[in-house]
Amino acid sequence: MRDELRVVATIENVPRISDFVRDQGRRLRLTDDVLFDIDLAVEEASTNIVRHAYESGQAGDIQVRIESLDDDIRITLTDWGQPFEADAAHLAEDVPVEVRAEGGMGVLLVHKLMDEVKRAPASAPGGPNVLTMVKHIGR
């Protein structure tokens, strides 16, 4: 099974992305715990794309693809905005919350919720930035 949604990257469309993820998860008969993790990770990543990939006033899209692969669910988020590459500071668990930048827990949260997270930043301006997240569901 493979399905996708493409929407304008606005904060108002994040709930639409979340609805799409939950609908697909129910179609795949995912457990509530697995679906919660996937939905929260996708919502966090989508919000980051909206806030950071596109400059204020710049229009752009987010494409969400969900694939069921045997014992895995793969979610791919694609945008065409500014590339983002997580560094060690984004993934460090031992950095006190008070020291982190506002909202600086999202990247770590996505990595905690999903079993695999890979980023492929655009190789040229305007090219696709691809975030691939995998959740092992062990059917």
Mean pLDDT of 34-46: 97
Rounded CA-CA distance 120/130 in Å is 5
Q: Fold for domain 2-136?
A: Heat Shock Protein 90 (3.30.565)
The phi-psi region of residue 103 (left if phi > 0; otherwise alpha if psi is between -120 and 50; otherwise beta) is left
Domain layout of the chain by residue ranges: 2-136
Q: In this predicted structure, what is the pLDDT of residue 72?
A: 96
Rounded CA-CA distance 29/116 in Å is 21
The CA-CA-CA angle for residues 90, 96, 99, to 5°, reads 75
Q: In this predicted structure, what is the pLDDT of residue 105?
A: 73
Q: In this predicted structure, what is the pLDDT of residue 35?
A: 97
pLDDT one-digit tens code per residue, 67-115: 999 899 999 999 999 987 665 444 555 555 555 455 567 888 999 999 9
Q: In this predicted structure, what is the pLDDT of residue 100?
A: 46
Rounded CA-CA distance 20/18 in Å is 5
